């Protein structure tokens, strides 16, 4: 009985503390609020929209920003002040759907499409738009943001799932103790970060593949183990460097601190399986590098979705032991359509030779 009473008292104190923290946090963030919408996606049955509500710290980035300004701005991005348990609305095709941010400020809408003719025309535009709005707004002005939704249609021949770190963006994951990775993350801004040569050309080739007039018909998805706090930088990086638009699936580091370690560790695998299942009738090309486990993950994906993985492209890294490990994997999986590349532009020549949509 004594234990039970103490347990109930502890829970009561914990609940009071949570309410106090929630109110205090809203008081501290009573200034400008930012709805950060993530480029989202849909199929013919469901729309998935994600984003986050944060304190707007007013970060402005310029090409010529120096060492210390970059450091301050990057710390602001990494140290986000999220707004929890706030009611939000998703306005889409003359309908309003209600939701709420979680304890890290994230929101997600998974909307089943009941009237497909009302929602989508298979020959219609590739991107659609909705609005996210604070529904019980305590602030002095209307707070809303537009969200873009990727909607592959009947013209799409395949999808592309690509890694980001050291595949598209020079991240230096394999540097000693990851010091170079830490340096560019903290002391460089989006204009000063560098892509791998030819990668934008290769991905745009895939986006337009099978379409004579150069329209990007094949959807791209970017998957990374980087935290969601880097979303804005990555989105801007893709835009500045002319990469195909596409949803970016990053990792929730709060999962790690809540000790959901398997979900945290398997983020990339889970994201790929989700996309393969979500677009069940669409084949995919998978792109990564030899730095970490991309080849292993993609081969596992091939074994599970054998008929729908058209090609796996792995680009070599500067670490010879990592390259050798991938070459050994390729030898052991000779039935898999996996290709080891020295240059990004080899994606173009290899895809053309394969003639994958004949």
Q: What is the CATH number of the domain that holds 332?
A: 3.40.50.1000
183 compared with 324, residue with greater pLDDT: 324
CB 344 within 8 A of CB 202: yes
Here the CATH number for the domain that contains residue 143 is: 2.60.40
Same domain, 226 and 340: yes
Residue 105 included in any domain: yes
Same domain, 79 and 168: no
Is residue 273 over pLDDT 70? yes
148-172 mean pLDDT? 91
Same domain, 170 and 138: no
Q: Which of 125, 150, 175 is a domain's end point?
A: 150
Specify the pLDDT at position 116.
59
Same domain, 349 and 233: yes
Backbone phi, psi, residue 247, to 5°:
-55, 140
Residue 7 included in any domain: no
CA separation for the pair 147, 92 (Å, rounded): 10
257 compared with 13, residue with greater pLDDT: 257
Same domain, 76 and 182: no
Same domain, 186 and 272: yes
Structure tokens at 113: 């499409």
Residue 86 included in any domain: yes
259-271 mean pLDDT? 78
Domain count, the chain: 2
Is residue 115 over pLDDT 50? yes
Residue 94 included in any domain: yes
Residue 16 included in any domain: no
DSSP 284-316: EEEEEESSSSHHHHHHHHHHHSGGGEEEEEEE-
318-328 mean pLDDT? 93
Is residue 196 over pLDDT 70? yes
Structure tokens at 334: 């000779």
Specify the pLDDT at position 149.
95
Task: Tell me the residue range of the domain where 63 lies.
Answer: 31-150
Specify the pLDDT at position 142.
82
Q: How confident is the model at residue 177 (pLDDT cuts 50, 70, 90)?
A: low
Q: What would the pLDDT profile of 100-112 be if each residue is shown by its tens digit?
A: 999 999 999 999 9
The share of the chain scoring above pLDDT 90, in percent, equals 55
47-71 mean pLDDT? 87
């Amino acid at each position: 009985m004594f234990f039970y009473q103490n347990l109930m008292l502890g829970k009561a104190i914990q609940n009071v503390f949570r309410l106090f923290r929630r109110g205090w946090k809203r008081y501290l963030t009573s200034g400008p609020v930012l709805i950060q919408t993530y480029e989202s996606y849909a199929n013919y049955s469901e729309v998935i929209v994600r984003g986050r509500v944060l304190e707007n710290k007013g970060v402005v980035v310029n090409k010529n920003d120096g060492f210390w300004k970059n450091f301050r701005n990057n710390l602001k991005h990494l140290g986000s002040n999220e707004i929890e348990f706030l009611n939000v609305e998703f306005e889409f095709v003359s309908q309003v759907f209600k939701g709420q941010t979680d304890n890290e400020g994230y929101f997600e809408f998974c909307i089943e499409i009941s009237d497909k003719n009302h929602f989508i025309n298979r020959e219609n535009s590739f991107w659609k738009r909705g609005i996210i709005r604070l529904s019980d707004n305590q602030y002095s002005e209307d707070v809303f943001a537009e969200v873009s939704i990727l909607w592959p249609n009947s013209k799409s021949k395949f999808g592309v799932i690509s890694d980001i770190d050291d595949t598209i963006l020079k991240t230096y994951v394999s540097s000693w103790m990851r010091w170079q990775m830490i340096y560019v993350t903290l002391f460089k801004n989006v204009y000063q970060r560098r892509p791998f040569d030819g990668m934008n050309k290769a991905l745009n080739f895939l986006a337009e593949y099978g379409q004579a007039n150069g329209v990007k018909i094949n959807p791209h998805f970017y998957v990374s183990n980087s935290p969601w706090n880097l979303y804005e930088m990555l989105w801007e990086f893709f835009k500045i460097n002319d990469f195909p638009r596409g949803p970016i699936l990053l990792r929730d580091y709060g999962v790690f601190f809540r000790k959901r370690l398997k979900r945290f560790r398997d983020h990339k695998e889970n994201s790929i399986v989700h996309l393969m299942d979500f677009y069940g009738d669409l084949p995919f090309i998978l792109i990564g590098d030899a730095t970490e486990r991309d080849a292993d993950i993609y081969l596992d994906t091939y074994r599970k979705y054998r008929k729908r993985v058209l090609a796996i492209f792995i680009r070599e890294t500067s670490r010879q032991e990592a390259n050798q490990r991938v070459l050994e994997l390729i030898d052991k999986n000779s039935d898999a359509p996996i290709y080891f590349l020295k240059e990004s532009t080899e994606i173009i020549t290899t895809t053309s030779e394969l003639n994958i949509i004949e």
